[in-house]
Amino acid sequence: MDDDAKTPTPGTSVPLSALAGGAVRRVGAWTVGLSRDEPFAVDSRCRHQLADLSKGSVDADGCLVCPWHGARYDVRDGRMVQGPRGFFGYHGPSRGYRDLVKAYARFLPLRRRPTSVRGDRVSVGTDSADSADGGNS
Ligand code: FES
């Protein structure tokens, strides 16, 4: 394999430095970030109201946080671990609603893609099957 074949394509990868401090980035259809220093790639559409999760962030617990109403996802299995705090333009307490959304989201976890780190870039795999082993390779 020559060096060009080992170099990640910019359109399918992101620099590790762009993911510092809980930042996430869009790579194709996927939201890429670091959770507990491990790269991940998941669907970019929130299961609540379809916000672009690549505009969100990773919190101190390693969860992906939606930018609209703060739903939190465990990127290891794609499941929503905390429902939204609000809906449409409202942002605030909504405990019953939050629990309801979390309950239905159980059946719609974020799909995941394997990732790999080469040099200073994180690449998203092109496998069509969802990863069942944690998403990283
Ligand atoms: S759209 Fe993501 S929490 Fe509402």
- CA–CA dist 133, 35 (Å, integer): 16
What pLDDT sits at residue 9?
A: 60
Q: Are 39 and 32 in contact (CB under 8 A)?
A: yes
pLDDT in tens, the chain (137 residues): 444 445 556 578 999 999 999 999 999 999 999 999 999 999 999 999 999 999 999 999 999 999 999 999 999 999 999 999 988 888 888 888 989 988 888 999 999 999 999 999 999 987 644 544 444 44
What number does the ligand 1 atom closest to the CA of 66 have?
Answer: 2
Non-local (6+) Cβ contacts of 134 within 8 A are 76
What pLDDT sits at residue 137?
A: 41
Whether domain 3-124 has CATH 3.40.50.920? no
Distance from the CA of 83 to the center of ligand 1, in angstroms?
8
